[in-house]
Amino acid sequence: MLSPTEELKVFSGRSNPALTDEICNYLEIRPGRAHAETFPDGELFVKLHEDVRGRDVYVVQSTCRPVNDNLIELLVFIDCLRRASARRVTAVLPYFGYARQDRKEEGRVPITAKLVCNLITQAGANRVLAMDLHAAQIQGFFDIPLDHLQAEPAFSKHFRSLGPERLTLVSPDVGNVKRARAYAEKMGCELAIIDKRRTSGSTAVVHTIIGNVEGRDVLMIDDMIATAGTLCEAARIVKEKGARSVRGAATHAVFAGPAFDRLEQTPFTEIAVTSTIPVTNEARERLPNLSVLSVADILGEAIARIHKNQSVSSLFTSS
């Protein structure tokens, strides 16, 4: 009979192998042996180099850029594992692409987040493990169990040295209030909200800050930095209102379009992101104030608990 450790296998797609290596180090196992390659005609091929029959298997793949390539690779990997007779296949999605297409805001458009959930399920995944989904309702798009993790422990540990007596959590817009409040309660600090409204009949924007930021160390945490427009605008506002320092943080370092230009021109003391998406050399070179926090221990502990049929939610409620 195989021991629990031998029954557990963790494989990596090509999107984030470094994170998979860290997860396996935490679990004290070696990464599963497999390879994926792209044929000259653009087709993808995946092959396993070890037996997974009857095993509890996890495949780690962030569907970040190139989004469609990484998504198809995840689907092919899942299918490969199912056809190799894995007992249970869990898709580990540190970053879930297409999450912003979660509803119809106008006619004749798709809900692509739901489509991606259907594809992952139909490919043969038995379970999904994701971190800081852009929209919480995506959990309901899956017809299989999903464990939704938070990067909060990594951020709380990193920013603990700031001290709650001078720290203010700021929500850059009203849509992020729930997340900001949760962090403020966890870190025991004050909360402020930026209320942005357009005046009628013109393009002028009136910003009202609900809460105090004068002389405070301001921290803004979101689920992702995409083009960085909202985050950078909020940083300039709190600086104008007398903030002593401004730090921006986000779980997913998407860094799309003009993000680097905007972040370079904004007075951030620090920009903190996690390892759910690989941080490029360009990002490190252009953003000397960038900190990258590992979430491998959070993902690794969640995988261990799922494997042992233990509670995952207690990871975030025990303290």
* Cβ proximity of 266 and 239 under 8 Å: no
- Per DSSP, the residues of the chain read ---HHHHEEEEE-SS-HHHHHHHHHHHT-PPPPEEEEE-TTS-EEEEESS--TT-EEEEE----SSHHHHHHHHHHHHHHHHHTT-SEEEEEESS-TTTT--S-SSSS---HHHHHHHHHHHHT-SEEEEES-SSGGGGGG-SS-EEEE-SHHHHHHHHGGG-TTSEEEEESSGGGHHHHHHHHHHHT-EEEEEEEEEPTTS--EEEEEES--TT-EEEEEEEEESS-HHHHHHHHHHHHTT-SEEEEEEEEE---TTHHHHHHTS--SEEEEETTSPPPHHHHHH-TTEEEE--HHHHHHHHHHHHTT--SGGGTT--
CB atoms within 10 A of CB 161: 6
Q: Is 196 a catalytic residue?
A: yes
* Paired tokens of 67: 């989004």
Catalytic residue (one of 9, 114, 157, 196): 196
272, 248 contact by CB (below 8 A) = yes
Cα 49–chain centre separation: 29
Active site (catalytic) residues = 196
